[in-house]
Structures are given as structure tokens and as C-alpha cells.
Amino acid sequence: MAHLRFMNPQNSKITGSLKRAQQLIRSQYVYLEEHPDLAPKNFRRLCKISQRFEALSRLHPQDVDEAELNRLLQELSSIIASMQQAA
């Protein structure tokens, strides 16, 4: 998150979404530590999506493709939902 640009009105939606996604990913890592039976498949999925969010966070907010960001957020949401259903 150190790479995110300072918040301003033009960038706040994108930077806010990226920050929130990274927070959710960290909390899911903690959840997986508490539920190791869910870890093998979901850990790899979280690692992949985390890398993609990290790459987006390194871009200038105006260069971030919002369609890709929304797709990644949907993917993260489905990962979280599947983990909650399995628990």
C-alpha cells in the first residue's frame, strides 16, 4: 500500500477500492490461518489476486483500468463467499 498515491477527489474511488481490497486479502490470510482445512486451494487463489492488486496499486490511479479493478473485486468477493460457505 505504500505505493498508493495520496488521496484526491479524482483518485479516491480507485485508491480506496485498492486499499480496501488489500485489507480484505490480509484479513482472509488470517482467516485461513484459523481454518487450515480451507487453506490449500484458497491460499493460492488469494496469492494470485493479491499480486494482481499489488501491480495495480503501483500504477498511477488514472492509469488503472476500472473494468479490471471491478473484475478483481468480484473475484475477491467470490473467494470470500466460497470460504464463508465452506466454514
What is the pTM (predicted TM-score) of this model? 0.81
Which is nearest to 28 in space by CA: 76, 86, 85? 76
- The phi-psi region of residue 6 (left if phi > 0; otherwise alpha if psi is between -120 and 50; otherwise beta) is beta
In a domain? residue 12: no
Does 61 reside within a domain? Answer: yes
Beta-carbon count within 10 A of 77 CB: 12
Residue 19 lies in a domain: no
For every one of its 87 residues, what pLDDT tens digit does the chain have, with 9 covering 90 and above?
A: 444 555 566 678 888 899 999 999 999 999 999 988 888 888 999 999 999 999 999 998 889 999 999 999 999 999 999 988 887
Count CA atoms closer than 13 A to 69's CA, side-chain side. 21
| Residue type present at position 44 | R
Number of domains making up the chain: 1
Domain housing 55: 29-86
Residue 8 in domain: no
